[in-house]
């Protein structure tokens, strides 16, 4: 089996630029890890494309031409991102005979332009509808920290690939928590940016009003750089109009008032965000709160209603997208996904209208809370990773569905599109647990600055999974 590599993307690129290795050698090693993937993270490997790009980078370096900041660093993407010449399956059976993509998704284009080398596509819940990545067609993705446990979802392959040392950087999507939950359960960093910050062009849609794309990484620096490289308006995504506002340079200049060491007003969310949480989740949250000197608890009025509204909108908006296929090919869907989509198709229009109408009310409540705080802390998941196939768990003294409740603390935040960094709390020898660092709209810099401060203090860190038994 190929040896895992836990270097950062920027460290790999530096090794390539400074001649300690070549882009081809790095990509050959990443491709070998992809083929030996014991976590079932990959669903496709793009060897020919990856090697051609690596050779082009090496050729540029040989004659002194400039290369991008991630030159030679391998990355992989959730299999709902378009990759030129490949079929975008979005975790499904029904799309396996769809036409091949004519171009890369915008996010893939922008990372590739920075020199990062795409090596493959990654497992996910079918059509991103789930929190577990127990895919009915491609099998479950396994958590690198315990292969009997889930990686989370729906971007489970993206989190597991970074956690297991297959690649240093991946892309995922987050509708109701699909970056934050697998980042938490796999012990890596994830970023869900503000709705509309990064282009969704070429990412297969799920719920139009809730869909985000974002990166996973093993360090805050990599997370911030990848985020910066993907920023900027995209005429092909009507929501993505905001000019780029780079964060990484400010994080690297802590003497500036807006840098990583600037004072932060930090609140800890209680109420809905503490109900039913496992004890170790609350302990992890307390560790982070203490490190950031968060002295005040606060509640988001209406968070439970916001979660309910997102829960209603998800199947209704998704059913509208899938209705043509549901009518003629229902048996090609994962039954669990199909049944929820059918329920959404049957829901009265009035349900969706009420769910949408509450959004400005909750947004105003959130805005009022942020008048007193720069960032808010909350758990990223209600528990550590459950077992593969586990149907229920205990919350608040009751047995509840794993699939329906892993996103209890992430859905209210998605509902109003706020930026969040999921940061893995440093708990050596224990299953990973992450926290949400939530910032006001368009202030990803605040969430990343808080995460970097915690990382420098050793309070949060990407977990290295145990070595496999020989």
Q: Residue 319's pLDDT is what?
A: 96
The rounded distance, in Å, linking the Cα atoms of 169 and 172 is 10
pLDDT < 70 regions, the chain: 1-2, 253-262, 469-470
Q: Of 92, 158, 163, 178, which is the active-site residue?
A: 178
Residue 40: φ, ψ to 5°? 55, 45
DSSP state for residue 262 in the 8-state scheme: S
Q: Of 78, 92, 158, 381, which is the active-site residue?
A: 78
Q: Is the pTM of this model over 0.75?
A: yes
Q: Of 8, 92, 154, 155, which is the active-site residue?
A: 154
> Active site includes 401?
no
> Active site includes 158?
no
Q: Residue 467's pLDDT is what?
A: 81
Q: Residue 260's pLDDT is what?
A: 53
- Non-local (6+) Cβ contacts of 117 within 8 A are 23, 26, 27, 30, 50, 53, 54, 57, 72, 73, 74, 75
Relative to beta strand 266-269, strand 375-379 is parallel
The rounded distance, in Å, linking the Cα atoms of 77 and 123 is 9
> Active site includes 184?
no
């Amino acid at each position: 089996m190929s040896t895992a590599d836990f270097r950062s993307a920027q460290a790999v690129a530096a090794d390539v630029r400074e001649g300690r290795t070549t882009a081809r050698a790095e990509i050959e090693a990443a491709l070998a890890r992809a083929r030996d993937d014991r976590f079932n993270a990959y669903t496709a490997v793009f060897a020919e494309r990856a090697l051609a790009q690596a050779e082009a980078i090496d050729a540029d370096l040989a004659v002194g031409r400039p290369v991008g900041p991630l030159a030679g660093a391998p990355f992989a993407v959730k299999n709902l991102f378009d990759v030129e010449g490949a079929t975008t399956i979005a975790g499904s059976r029904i799309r396996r005979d769809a036409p091949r993509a004519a171009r890369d998704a915008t996010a893939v284009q922008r990372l590739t332009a920075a020199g990062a080398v795409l090596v493959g596509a990654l497992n996910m819940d079918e059509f991103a509808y789930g929190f577990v990545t127990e895919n009915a067609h491609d099998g479950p993705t396994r958590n690198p920290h315990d292969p009997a446990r889930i990686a989370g979802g729906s971007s489970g392959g993206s989190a597991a690939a970074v956690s297991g040392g297959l690649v240093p950087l991946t892309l995922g999507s987050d509708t109701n928590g699909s970056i934050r939950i697998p980042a938490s359960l796999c012990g890596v960093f994830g970023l869900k940016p503000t709705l509309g910050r990064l282009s969704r062009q070429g990412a297969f849609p799920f719920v139009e009003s809730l869909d985000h794309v974002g990166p996973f990484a093993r360090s805050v620096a990599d997370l911030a750089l990848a985020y910066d490289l993907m920023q900027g308006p995209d005429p092909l995504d009507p929501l993505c109009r905001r000019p780029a506002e780079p964060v990484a340079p400010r994080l690297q200049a802590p003497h500036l008032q807006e840098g990583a060491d600037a004072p932060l007003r930090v609140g800890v969310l209680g109420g809905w965000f503490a109900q039913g949480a496992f004890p170790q989740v609350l302990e992890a949250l307390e560790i982070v709160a203490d490190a950031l000197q968060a002295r005040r608890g606060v509640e988001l009025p209406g968070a439970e209603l916001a979660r309910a509204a997102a829960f209603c909108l998800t199947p209704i908006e998704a059913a509208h997208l899938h209705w043509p296929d549901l009518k003629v090919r229902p048996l090609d869907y994962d039954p669990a996904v199909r049944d929820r989509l059918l329920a959404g198709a049957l829901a009265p229009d009035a349900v969706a209208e009420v769910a949408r109408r509450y959004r400005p009310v909750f947004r105003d409540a959130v805005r009022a809370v942020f008048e007193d705080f720069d960032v808010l802390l909350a758990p990223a998941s209600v528990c550590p990773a459950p077992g593969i196939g586990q149907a229920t768990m205990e919350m608040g003294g009751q047995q509840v569905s794993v699939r329906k409740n892993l996103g209890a603390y992430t859905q209210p935040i998605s509902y109003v599109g706020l930026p969040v960094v999921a940061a893995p709390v440093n708990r050596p020898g224990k299953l990973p647990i992450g926290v949400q660092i939530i910032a006001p709209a368009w202030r990803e810099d605040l969430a990343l600055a808080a995460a970097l401060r915690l990382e420098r203090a050793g309070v949060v860190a990407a977990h290295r999974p145990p070595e496999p038994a020989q």
